[in-house]
Amino acid sequence: MTKVIFDLDGVLYRGNETIPESSQCIDILEAQGVVTGYLTNNAGRTRERIAEHLEIHCIRALIHQIMTSGEATARYLKSQGHSGTRIYVIGKNGLIETLNEHGFDAGNHEEGDLCKLVVVGWDRDITFYKIARAQHEILVNGALLIATNIDAMFPADKGRVLPGAGAMVTAVETASNVKAEVIGKPKIHSLNYLVEELGSDAGTPDDSVWVIGDRLDTDIVCGNSFGAKTVLVTTGISSRNEAEKAKGELSPDHIIDSLLELPGLVLD
């Protein structure tokens, strides 16, 4: 079965603004039997909240079709034997909720509560205290530093670009002199988890994965590392000019300016 995996911000919407033709593109693909999935580095929303937000943009998705970097972080940490661990979190409530749903003791714990993990995601309310607390857990208590993602920026509505989780991660890395282990794109952990949930017909002629994104350094690198077909859509961060000059793992298989060009590629 053919699976098409969409990034969200900059591909299907920008904040609360729907990117034209996004739902129409998905309707065309699904009508032809293509399985769709949604892969985001946004760890601040649970998968349920992502599904609700997609509905605003006239896109219906079941929970198993959605993978966030927060969900992937929880699954990865469990796979590494950290189940039940107390985690100090720099991030939004959605990330904390996701980690706790997987059995962790995650939150903005009081000073003195020993934390074995520090997880950093996007946090609009990051403060000096939060950075200092993370630093203490890492340097004094030996906590491991985990980044949900290291996006430097993300596209918002009204044409704005805002600082991403990478800005928060870099602050903690600098303060602790420790490099974070990254879970979200461009790493392939989250894509692996999503493809598994969508099901696989490996070995059949039409078993293929397409990754659609607006960023060369995350979406396209992730898709290429996975071995998927990659498509850069120029409605978000990376431009056509940048994509045409890109080489190696940064180079997409296709460049499009509208999602309505996508069905012609996938269904060809």
Residues 106 and 178 in one domain: yes
Instruction: Check: CB of residue 82 under 8 Å from CB of residue 52.
Output: no
Residue 225 burial class via C-beta count within 10 angstroms: exposed 0-12, middle 13-18, buried 19 and up: middle
Q: What is the dihedral of CA 212, 101, 149, 258, to 10 degrees?
A: 20
Model confidence pLDDT, tens digit, residues 184-201: 999 999 999 999 999 865
With a pLDDT cut of 70, the percent of the chain lying above it is: 97
Domain boundary among 150, 166, 182: 182
Residues 107 and 52 in one domain: no
CATH number at residue 50: 3.40.50.1000
Residues 36 and 88 in one domain: no
Residue 116 burial class via C-beta count within 10 angstroms: exposed 0-12, middle 13-18, buried 19 and up: middle
Number of domains in the chain: 2
Residues 146 and 203 in one domain: no
Domain boundary among 182, 211, 245: 182
Residues 21 and 87 in one domain: no
- Model pLDDT, residue 200: 67
Q: Containing domain of residue 190, as a range?
A: 2-69+186-266
Residues 87 and 53 in one domain: no
Residues 177 and 190 in one domain: no
Q: Work out the pLDDT band at 124, boundaries 50, 70, 90.
A: very high
Mean pLDDT, the chain, integer = 94
Residue 250, C-beta contacts closer than 8 angstroms, at least 6 positions apart: 216, 217, 220, 221, 224
Domain boundary among 133, 163, 182: 182
Q: How many helices (H) and strands (E) does the chain have?
A: 10, 15
pLDDT over 60 (residue 232): yes
Residues 162 and 97 in one domain: yes
- Model pLDDT, residue 201: 59
Q: Work out the pLDDT band at 207, boundaries 50, 70, 90.
A: low
Q: Work out the pLDDT band at 159, boundaries 50, 70, 90.
A: confident
Residues 125 and 139 in one domain: yes
With a pLDDT cut of 90, the percent of the chain lying above it is: 88
Residues 81 and 174 in one domain: yes
Residues 81 and 208 in one domain: no
Residues 167 and 239 in one domain: no
